[in-house]
Amino acid sequence: MTRRWLGWALAAPATIAVAIFLVAPVLATFATTFGGPKGAFAAYAAFFGSGFRRTVLYRTTEVALITTAISVFVGFITAYVVSRVRGKAKSILIIAAVFPLLTGVVVRSFAWLVILGKNGILNTALLDLGLVSEPLSMLYTEGSVIVAMVYLFVPLMILTSVGVLEGIPDDLIQASTSLGASPAATFRQVVFPLAMPGIIVGAVLVFTGSFTSYATPQLLGGERQMMMGTFLYQRAMVTFDWVGASTVAVIMTVVTIAIVLLMSRIARRLNPAAV
């Protein structure tokens, strides 16, 4: 009994801090959305009653899902290759994967302005090679936002997958091969299911990061490709509509939780022991 109370006493400061600094602000944000003069759900009715706002929500979800899918594919394959390498080469590859994370998000996003601009590196190369007759308009499109998002979040996917893949015993892979399984079958039936926890963690990090991102959509999407993060900033800091901003924040929170739960459900179906 004494040990039980001691455990509660040791956990109490952290629990109180989480409640004050994390739970309370979220609950206050929720409460703000129900305090309007037009009724409890008026703010949500106004949001979903606007075609523009529904488009922003749909675009943000679409970009986040596409970014997550591409990042999972590229990051997992890269992590698998890194996990198979031995010696100093592995360290070099891991450093190369982590290095972009040492630079700020704004700097990495701004770099894509230089690459994708009409006078940027890519357009200059295409013109010099004679592949296009005039510069392409690649900025302020959904594609430019997705490309930059993938660049930002693939390192996270690699890091979360490498550790899991390194933990898979080589004996399992060798046993699968000795039993006549092809490399593709071994990857599909042995490596992929055992790596599912790392894939889910990485996918959740990528989705939540891309869904709530502000700097990248603002720099590369602008007003023409507005997303929920930039829309939230506009409502709060430009129009000072705090109820509207809180409504956007609540919707972002609910959508994020729903997608994360969906990802976990899919993972359980693919491999019941993964999560």
- Counting the structural domains of the chain, the total is 2
Residue 90 has pLDDT above 80, yes or no: yes
Same domain, 48 and 28: no
Same domain, 153 and 48: yes
Same domain, 48 and 171: yes
pTM (2 d.p.): 0.86
**pLDDT in the model for residue 40:** 63
Query: How many angstroms separate the CA atoms of 77 and 195, rounded?
Result: 12
Q: Which among 162, 149, 147 is positioned nearest to 201, based on CA atoms?
A: 162
DSSP state of 191: I
Residue 266 included in any domain: yes
Contact indicator for 221, 147 with CB cutoff of 8 Å = no
Q: 2 falls in which pLDDT band (50, 70, 90)?
A: low
Query: How many angstroms separate the CA atoms of 148 and 156, rounded?
Result: 14
Same domain, 58 and 72: yes
Same domain, 176 and 242: yes
Same domain, 114 and 71: yes
Same domain, 87 and 27: no
* Residue found by looking up tokens 């609910």 in the block: 254
Residue 151 included in any domain: yes
Same domain, 18 and 104: no
Residue 35 has pLDDT above 80, yes or no: no
Same domain, 71 and 136: yes
- Give the CATH number for residue 54: 1.10.3720.10
Query: How many angstroms separate the CA atoms of 190 and 184, rounded?
Result: 10
Same domain, 122 and 256: yes
Residue 275 included in any domain: no
Least confident of 46-55, 58-67, 155-164, 187-196: 187-196
Query: How many angstroms separate the CA atoms of 275 and 273, rounded?
Result: 6
Same domain, 72 and 190: yes
Which alpha helices (H) appear in the chain, and where do they start and end?
2-18, 24-33, 42-48, 51-84, 88-98, 105-116, 121-128, 142-166, 170-178, 183-186, 192-194, 196-211, 215-220, 228-233, 242-270
**pLDDT in the model for residue 91:** 83
Average pLDDT over every residue of 104-119: 87
Q: Which among 77, 100, 88 is positioned nearest to 161, based on CA atoms?
A: 77
Residue 269 has pLDDT above 70, yes or no: yes
Domain that holds residue 25: 1-33
Residue 181: exposure state from Cβ atoms within 10 A (0-12, 13-18, ≥19): middle
What confidence tens digit (pLDDT) does each residue in 207-256 have?
Answer: 999 999 998 898 888 888 889 999 998 888 888 888 888 899 999 989 98
Same domain, 5 and 76: no
Residue 62 included in any domain: yes
**pLDDT in the model for residue 264:** 79
